């Protein structure tokens, strides 16, 4: 299990520092329904990650992801494909970065955050964690990394729970700040939102580049094992 957790840590951090979901949470925390929508978003976020984990670990578990202690060939191919896709995402994000000192364009749905009910907030969390292309690639990569260790089903589940919890730190932090500081949190959250908006494209580009390169490197190591 320790090996599985070690494999997923970089991927979990990649999900955790995604700027867009953090901005979405901050926007919810400055609305009248902040006390319900913030936690609801976190619940939805965890649910989205859980669904991805259940589906892909169920597929990978019976598929002999580990071969005599080494990753099976199909796992190496999956990592290679995921790595290449992340490099494409990195290139797209880098090209889309706004001029220095200007925030990038926000998705249109963020303008409706003021009207979100807890159910919509939870739905947004689930979509941003489980269906967001970058996060989906990282979560699938985590499932492949866990499955390739050959750990038991229970240990795989624990390793994925650790992945999901670490991946939630980024969006949970603003909620914790809000409840801990109350009205005083507004200034802190505004600064966090501004930094995430200004650096969104660059952060995502570097993040996807590093993790994509890691997955490709793991795949090459698996092919040569």
Residue 91 has pLDDT above 80, yes or no: yes
The region of weakest confidence among 23-27, 131-135, 148-152 is 148-152
Can you say whether the dihedral through the CA atoms of 119, 120, 126, 131 is positive or negative? positive
Instruction: Assess contact for 124 and 44: CB atoms under 8 A.
Output: yes
The phi, psi pair for 158, rounded to 5°, reads -65, -45
The region of weakest confidence among 131-135, 192-196, 207-211 is 192-196
- Output the pLDDT for position 71: 66
HSE, side-chain direction, 13 A CA sphere, residue 160: 33
74-88 confidence digits (pLDDT tens)? 778 888 899 899 899
- Output the pLDDT for position 181: 87
3-state secondary structure 28-81: HCCCCCHHHHHHHHHHHHHHHHHHHHHHHHHHHHHHCCEECCEECHHHHHHHHH
- Output the pLDDT for position 54: 93
Q: 56-65 burial string, b = 16+ CB within 10 Å, else e?
A: bbeebbeeeb
Specify the pTM. 0.83
Query: 209 Cβ partners below 8 Å, 6+ apart?
Result: 86, 87, 90
- Output the pLDDT for position 185: 84
Domain span at 148: 2-224
The whole-chain average pLDDT of the chain stands at 84
Residue 16 has pLDDT above 70, yes or no: yes
Length of the chain, in residues: 225
Domain count, the chain: 1
Instruction: Assess contact for 171 and 41: CB atoms under 8 A.
Output: yes
| Listed residue (3, 5, 36, 1) closest to 165, CA to CA | 5
At 101, the pLDDT band (50, 70, 90 cuts) reads: low
With tokens 């390739």, the residue in question is: 148
């Amino acid at each position: 299990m320790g090996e599985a957790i070690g494999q997923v840590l970089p991927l979990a951090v990649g999900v955790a520092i995604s700027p867009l979901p953090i901005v979405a949470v901050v926007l919810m925390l400055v609305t009248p329904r902040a006390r319900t929508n913030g936690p609801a978003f976190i619940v939805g976020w965890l649910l989205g990650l859980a669904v991805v984990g259940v589906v892909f670990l169920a597929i990978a578990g019976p598929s002999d992801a580990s071969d005599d202690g080494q990753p099976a060939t199909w796992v190496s191919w999956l990592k290679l494909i995921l790595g290449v896709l992340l490099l494409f995402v990195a290139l797209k994000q880098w090209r889309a970065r706004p001029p220095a000192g200007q925030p990038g364009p926000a998705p249109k749905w963020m303008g409706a955050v003021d009207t979100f009910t807890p159910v919509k907030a939870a739905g947004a969390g689930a979509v941003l964690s489980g269906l967001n292309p970058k996060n989906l690639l990282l979560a699938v990569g985590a499932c492949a990394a866990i499955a390739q260790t050959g750990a038991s089903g229970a240990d795989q589940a624990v390793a994925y729970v650790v992945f999901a919890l670490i991946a939630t730190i980024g969006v949970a932090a603003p909620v914790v700040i809000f409840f801990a500081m109350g009205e005083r949190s507004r200034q802190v959250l505004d600064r966090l939102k501004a930094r995430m908006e200004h650096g969104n494209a660059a952060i995502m580009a570097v993040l996807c580049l590093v993790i994509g390169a890691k997955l490709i490197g793991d795949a090459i190591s698996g092919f040569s094992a």
